[in-house]
Amino acid sequence: MTSLLLLISAIINIFIWLLIANAILSWLVAFNVINTNNQFVSTVGNFLYRITEPPLRPIRRVVPTMGGLDVSPVILILLLIFLRNLLFEYMPLSM
């Protein structure tokens, strides 16, 4: 059971980092620091969008953007951290 708990925790951590990477990439594209005409940037951006958009879409429907600022990734990251902590609270590691 401990291995499964650690695997779920690792998956949550990886997804949090993907959300952060997606937010940073969207800022870099918005401020014209990087160009989406570059094939590598386009591929990475498309991958991050396809991975992170399905869980962000329901949050975006409920929480509107505040002055052009999308807070849905922050809300999802906080929910994922809460879920991870809840898993460790109710299934403590036996060492």
Where are the chain's structural domains?
2-90
Residue 52, pLDDT > 60, answer: yes
pLDDT, tens only, 5-20? 999 999 999 999 999 9
Q: Tell me: the pLDDT tens digits for 56-71?
A: 999 999 998 888 888 9
Average pLDDT, the chain: 92
What totals of helices (H) and strands (E) does the chain contain, helices first? Answer: 3, 0
| Global model pTM greater than 0.85 | yes
Distance CA 23, CA 20 (A): 5
Q: With residue 94 as reference, give the H or E element that holds it.
A: none
Task: Identify the pLDDT of residue 54.
Answer: 97
Residue type, 67: G
Nearest to 73 by CA among 8, 22, 9, 10: 22
